[in-house]
Structure formats: C-alpha cells, structure tokens
Amino acid sequence: MNIALRIPVLAYHAVNIAGNDYATNDHVAFAADLRLIHALGLRIVPLAWVVDALAGVRERDLAGCVAMSCDDGSDFDWFDLDHPEHGPQRSLYGCMNDFAAEFGAAAQPDLHLTAFVIASAEARGYLDRNCLAGRGWMSDRWWRPALDSGRMAIENHSYDHNHAAIPLPGIGGMERGSFFGVDTRERADAEIADAARLIDAAIAPRRTTLFCYPYSHVNDYLRREYFPQCAHVHGMRAAFGDGAEPVTAASDRWNLPRYICGYHWKSPDELEKILRETA
C-alpha cells in the first residue's frame, strides 16, 4: 500500500451551463483549471491510476498528481455544441485538446478525463427531453471515439441515476430522486451490475471498472455490503462520492472522495487553495 498516496480528484458536470463565466459554466472552469493545475506544477493522471495505487496493483510515482472526472455523460463532454441560451460551448474533450495545442503534448503527457455515464438509453432520452434541450444530447455515439482518443475513459454512473425527471416507476418500488434508496440486492443489481453490462456491451472489448454514486448519495448497504461482497457480479474496483478531501491510502475504496466544481469550489482562487493544501 502506498502510504504517501494523496491525490485530489476533481469532478465536473458538462451540463452545468448557466452563463459563460467561471462561476456559471463548467466548461469555462474546466479549461481554466487545466491551466491552473499546470501552472502549479501538478500532473494530471487517469483516475484509474489512483485506484491502481490504492489497490496496490501497480507502482507509479503519483506525487503531485491530480485526477479529473465528469458526471452524467452528456454529449457536451465530447462534442462542441450550440447551447440554446448561452451559445457555442467547447466540449471538455475540446478543452483538453486546446490545452495540448497551447502548451504541447509533453506539458501534461498523461492528460486524461474519466466520464461517468448513464447506461439506459431510455433514461437518457427522458433526461435529454426533460432536463436539456431535447436535441439528443445524452447519446452513447461518442463513447467509443472518446476511448479511442486515449484522453477519456467511460465508466459507470448507474442504470438511470434514479432521476426524478424519468416518468417511470423506480426499480423495486424505489422513490425517484435519490440514490439512498438503492438498499437491496434487487435494486443494486439493477442500478449497478445491469448498468455495467449495458455500458460494457457498448464499449466492448473494453469494460467499466469504476462507479460514481448519483447525487453523491452513498448508503451503508452499498458501501459496506454490496460493493465489497458482490464484486463478482458488478465488476467494479472502486466507487466515488464527494467528500471534499484527497484520496489517500486510508480512503474507503467504496466511497472515494472528490471535489465538485461549483460546490466545493467556485473560483480559481478557491481551487488553488484546495490544490495547494492537498496535492
């Protein structure tokens, strides 16, 4: 076990577009944060490397490193799109390309972003119509190109997020709008293991091994029973919540902490303070 492990994991939501400045737009924040991380002399690495180090499966020097992730899996992660209210938006993937073009590929040789996506096409359709602009911006058509780019990973953000905007009964009678209700084997298999199978089929021969809790809702059943005892069913190696602290050797592998843009920090100065204190 790497007792020196100490890595902040940053999380973004590409659908967070309420304006075109840092505080109101995760794309603007993400682009600025890439430059801030680099200016601080820190190294961006794939999220899977953090889990590798925590599990002791591969030795890497991860001193001074940061990992980056994004949730929900909208097309804004990969495609440049024209937002109906706030105009053209550079994708998170495009922001990474812009950084590499400006500073050179050697500046951040392991530059990488992990996208946690929702498995069910039906659920994504409802979310697109009820939460976005109804333009088909919750698709899976970019998952393979993202993986092929070498700069992105596709991982598991549940079957349907148990989202309140989905006008269908929750699994096993579960009330919509919370992930805390995923507290039985039936519900957990449906939301996590079935999601893994669907996503894996779309990205085969690659497969998912990381999970991110919708809403950052972590209950004791999932963290203490389902994930550690049913790995042969769900195939996950780790699960991420929020927690607002760096991942260390003492972190719970089934509730790994992240810092969420717009929640744990809202300005470059606030992020700089987090990174100076943690990385």
User: Would you say residue 279 lies in a domain?
Assistant: no
For residue 59, the model assigns a pLDDT of 85
Asked whether the predicted pLDDT for residue 183 surpasses 80, the reply is yes
Determine if residue 112 is left, alpha or beta; phi over 0 gives left, psi from -120 to 50 gives alpha, anything else beta: beta
Chain centroid offset of residue 139 CA: 16
Q: Kindly report which listed range (32-41, 51-60, 108-117, 263-272) carries the lowest average pLDDT score.
A: 51-60
Read off the pTM.
0.97
**pLDDT beyond 80 at 266:** yes
Containing structural domain, residue 245: 6-274
Where residue 80 sits, what CATH number does that domain have?
Answer: 3.20.20.370
pLDDT, residue 228, reads 98
Residue 136 lies in a domain: yes
1 inside domain: no
What's the average model confidence in pLDDT over 115-121? 98
Question: Is 106 among the domain residues?
Answer: yes
pLDDT at residue 2 is higher than 80: no
Confidence of residue 3 (pLDDT cuts 50, 70, 90): low
Number of domains, the chain = 1
Q: How is residue 105 written in tokens?
A: 């590929």
Determine, yes or no, domain membership for 104.
yes
Give the pLDDT confidence of 23-66 residue by residue, as tens digits: 999 999 999 999 999 999 999 999 999 999 999 998 899 999 99
